[in-house]
Every structure is written in C-alpha cells, then in structure tokens.
C-alpha cells in the first residue's frame, strides 16, 4: 500500500510538472493583439490594403500577432486620430499626414505644388532619406511610423473652360481641400473655398463653386464627373497617409513582434501602391467615358504652372527652416 501511494505521489508530481511547463509555454506564446483605427469604409482600396497588412502580420507571426481593424471611423475620426495615438487611446491608426501640419509644418511637403511628377515619385522621395527625417519628427512627438500609404494625385476640375495655363485659373471659384491647397490656388489666380469632400458635389451642382481640386478615384466615388465639364490631368500635388503607432506601445513589443509588423508594413506599402495605380487608371477611364473633356499638361505647360506657384514653395521653405529645405530638395530630385 505504501509503495502504491508512493508511486501515485510520484505520478502526481510528474503530472504537475508537465502541466506547469504547458502553462508556461502557453503563456510564452500568448497572442499579441492590437487595434488599428481606419476612417475609410471597408470598400476603399486603402482599407483593403490594411486587410492585406493584417493578413501578413498573422502569416509572418504564425498567428501569434493579430491586428484588429476598425473601419469607417468606428474608433476615431481623421481629425482625432493623432491625439488618440499620442494619448495611447489606440495602438495604431491610419493618419492623413496633413493632420500633423500644426505640430510638424514640414509634413506639408506632400502638398507642395508641382513637386512630385508621377506615382513613383513619393516612394523615390521617401527612400532618398525623407522617411528617416520625418520618422524622427513623429517619434519626438510620441508616435512611431510603421509604413507609408500613398493616396494618388490631385487634379483640377471645373465647369467653365479647359485649364491649360495658369492664366486660365483667374477668376474661378475653386473648392480646396486644405490650407496649402488654397495657397496654391490663390497663387494661380483662383478664389479657393476650403470644404470637405462630402460637401463638394452639391456645391458643384449648384454652381456655388466653379470647380474643385480632388483625385480621380475620389471624383468618381463622389460622382463629381457628373457635374463637371473639364479636367486637367496635372498631378499637381499628392495626398499621403501613414499607419502609425503609439510609441510607448511600440516599445513594449518584442524585437520579433516589431520585425513581423514592419515586414508586413513593407508588403502593404507595395500592395497599396499597385492598387492606387489601378484605381487611378480605372477612374480616368470612367471620367473620360462620362464625357468630361480631359486635358493632359505637356512638359512646357507643366513648367508654366510650376513657375507660377514658386512663391508657395518658397514660403514653405521659409516657414519650415532647414528640414523643409532638405525635404524640398529631396522631392525635386525625385521628380
């Protein structure tokens, strides 16, 4: 009987050791989950790019890291996300870089007129050292940049006449999407009115404004091509987004988790750039097929618009100091 009890005791100890090891192993492999706030609806190609990112995070981590996406501003609006990241109210989020312009004026480099030429230019600019410079600016304000999200180019739409030279802009009332954009329109002789994209269609339909600055995919999704006669394909400025993280949360991750997220981010960057190119081409076809007259600037005409907006770029360089001048040089060399 004593031998039996001894054997049972031994077995119990072994079982406890096995269970303990299993518990510790499970704890070591506990899943890391993080939330990503996204203001776009699920149907948007950028939202699809974020799903691609989340899938890659899961794949590269073997399921140990999980990204939970909250679309359609369920968590935070685009005007709230920067503060939410800084205050650690959310782990990660999609940020329109112009939402940083109050704290980081140099971020407006993306909205400088006639600096970037085509869809490859922003990547060349970032790879040339701009990403490193801007990442330091974000980190000094408590945020880690995970990856960049291209959005495409902004074009000129209007209902009055083809815009083939700067003087054609004079006297037009134009919807503008930001302060920097309005500054560009003023330099060209137009009268800008800053308004949200949701107000744009009605203003154009009613004739409250003569035209608008917006991207081609946005123009199609907002049905702008139904109430405009002319479009100038100018690629005159671009919009840039980024997926960013609260820095304290980021620093709490293991080296392996950070590597997984950054690798997935690089893949997502490339995927989204391809999706943007497809989206731009498809939107241009829809706009042309609807009867909008599209004018494509040639090199001489583009140079005229570039010269006419020199004061905007000079003002940017003066306001932003050394970092702004360095970024401007990088952008122009990437053109």
Q: What is the pLDDT of residue 177?
A: 86
Q: What is the pLDDT of residue 6?
A: 52
The CB-side HSE value for 220 (13 A sphere, CA atoms) comes to 16
Q: Give the domain ranges of the chain.
A: 31-334
> What is the CB neighbour count within 10 angstroms for residue 104?
17
The stretch 303-317 carries a mean pLDDT of 96
The stretch 295-314 carries a mean pLDDT of 96
Least confident of 28-42, 213-227, 265-279, 287-301: 28-42
Q: What is the pLDDT of residue 20?
A: 52
Q: Which CATH class is domain 31-334?
A: alpha beta
What residues does 293 pair with on adjacent strands?
A: 230
In the chain, the DSSP E strands lie at: 32-37, 65-70, 92-96, 143-158, 173-176, 191-194, 211-215, 230-246, 293-296
pLDDT in tens, 8-45: 454 454 444 444 554 444 444 569 999 999 998 888 88
pLDDT in tens, 289-304: 999 999 999 999 999 9
């Amino acid at each position: 009987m004593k031998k039996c009890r001894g054997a049972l005791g031994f077995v119990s100890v072994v079982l406890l050791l096995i269970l303990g090891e299993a518990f510790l192993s499970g704890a070591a492999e506990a899943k890391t989950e993080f939330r990503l706030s996204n203001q776009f609806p699920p149907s948007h190609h950028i939202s699809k790019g974020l799903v691609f990112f989340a899938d890659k995070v899961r794949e590269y981590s073997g399921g140990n890291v999980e990204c939970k996406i909250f679309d359609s501003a369920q968590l935070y609006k685009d005007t709230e996300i920067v503060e939410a990241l800084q205050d650690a109210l959310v782990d990660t989020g999609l940020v329109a870089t112009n939402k940083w312009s109050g704290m980081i004026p140099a971020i407006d480099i993306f909205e400088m007129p006639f600096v970037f030429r085509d869809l490859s230019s922003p990547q060349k600019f970032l790879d040339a050292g701009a990403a490193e410079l801007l990442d330091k600016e974000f980190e000094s304000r408590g945020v880690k940049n995970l990856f960049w999200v291209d959005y495409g180019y902004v074009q000129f739409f209007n209902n009055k006449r083809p815009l083939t030279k700067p003087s054609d802009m004079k006297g037009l009332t134009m919807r503008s999407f930001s302060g920097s954009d309005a500054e560009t329109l003023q330099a060209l002789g137009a009268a800008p009115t800053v308004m949200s994209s949701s107000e744009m269609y009605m203003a154009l339909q009613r004739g409250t404004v003569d035209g608008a600055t917006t991207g081609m995919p946005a123009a199609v999704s907002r049905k702008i091509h139904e109430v405009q006669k002319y479009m100038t394909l100018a690629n005159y400025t671009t919009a840039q987004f980024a997926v960013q993280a609260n820095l304290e949360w980021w620093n709490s991750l293991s080296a392996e988790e950070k590597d997984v997220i950054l690798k997935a981010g690089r893949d997502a960057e490339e995927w989204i750039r391809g999706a943007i190119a497809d989206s731009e081409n498809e939107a241009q076809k829809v706009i042309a097929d609807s009867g909008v007259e599209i004018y494509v600037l040639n090199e001489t005409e583009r140079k005229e618009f570039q010269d006419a907006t020199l004061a905007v770029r000079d003002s940017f360089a003066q306001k932003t100091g050394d970092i702004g001048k360095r970024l401007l040089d990088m952008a122009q060399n990437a053109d």
